[in-house]
Each structure stands twice: as structure tokens, then as C-alpha cells.
Amino acid sequence: MFVTNLSDGLKVPLYGDGLNVRDWLHVDDHCRAIMLVLEGGRLGEIYNIGGGTELTNHAIVDHLLELCSSDRSMVQPVTDRLGHDRRYSVDWTKIRNELGYHPEVPFEQGLKDTVEWYHDNETWWRPLKNIAS
């Protein structure tokens, strides 16, 4: 929604102070990790999948604003949700050590590719966005 809203000239939310931290990974890395678990994981075990790129929501917003040629005036501060976790991050040591997993898509490239996909595929997302409105 961030990319499509910015494309439409709409503001995007930034919850609370924007300092909540998340561990980011590209969908291709996530899918590859799932395949590693399916093909080589131990039955009944839990494998956390991480990206190794911990960034604040504020930093993500800044990256997206830059990639979408927008500025801070497009950010709408929003009250944070009650009980919103300050940090979402997992320890993915086990999947790295046991199955050799590591992210392959650099964060900046993955985010750039994602933004470009939305810009190049409006005919795919536009009808879905109109339904949600």
C-alpha cells in the first residue's frame, strides 16, 4: 500500500515514533528458506527465517520515499497500536548452521525491485486496490 499510495499521491502512515525495528528479507529468500526446510530440515523442528537486515520503520519509510521520488510531506503520523511490539526479529542461527541458509537478495536491491514492479504492473494491482477502497 505504501508504494501504490505514493504513486497515487496519497499520504502513507508512520506509526508512533517510527523507531519500531523489523527484520527485513526479500520474498525470494523466504521462499528459498522454506524449500531448504522442506528438503533438508529435521522432522518436527522449528526453523526461524530471518533476513539479517534490521531497520526501523522510519528508515523503511525514508527508503520508500526516495525510491518513489516523494518527500516527508507525504508521511502521516499515526498513533501507534496499543501493545505494538517494539522489535520483531528472529534468531535464524539454526537454519543458517543446519541448512546453510543465508539471504541472497541485498535489502536495497530487493526494495528497489519491489517498487519498480509496482510501477511496472499497475494493471495488476489497480483493480485490487479499487476493490479494497
Grid cell at residue 16: 508512533
Strands annotated E in the chain: 12-15, 21-24, 53-56, 75-78, 87-88
pLDDT band at 131 (very low <50, low <70, confident <90, very high): confident
CA 39 to chain centre: 26
User: How many angstroms separate the CA atoms of 20 and 79, rounded?
Assistant: 13
Q: Which domain holds residue 106?
A: 2-132
pLDDT at residue 5 is higher than 80: yes
The stretch 41-56 carries a mean pLDDT of 96
Closest CA to 32 of 92, 117, 114: 92
**Total domains, the chain:** 1
**Taking 90 as the threshold, does the pLDDT of residue 130 lie above it?**
no
Q: What pLDDT sits at residue 81?
A: 86
Residues 109-123 pLDDT 10s: 999 999 999 999 999
pLDDT digits (tens, 9 = 90+) for 77-101: 999 988 888 998 899 999 999 999 9
What separation in angstroms does the CA of 46 have from each of 19, 94, 95? 29, 9, 9
Q: What CATH number is attached to the domain comprising 9?
A: 3.40.50.720
pLDDT at 133: 64
pLDDT of residue 82: 86
For residue 18, count CB atoms less than 10 angstroms from its CB and return exposed for 0-12, middle for 13-18, buried for 19 or more.
Answer: middle
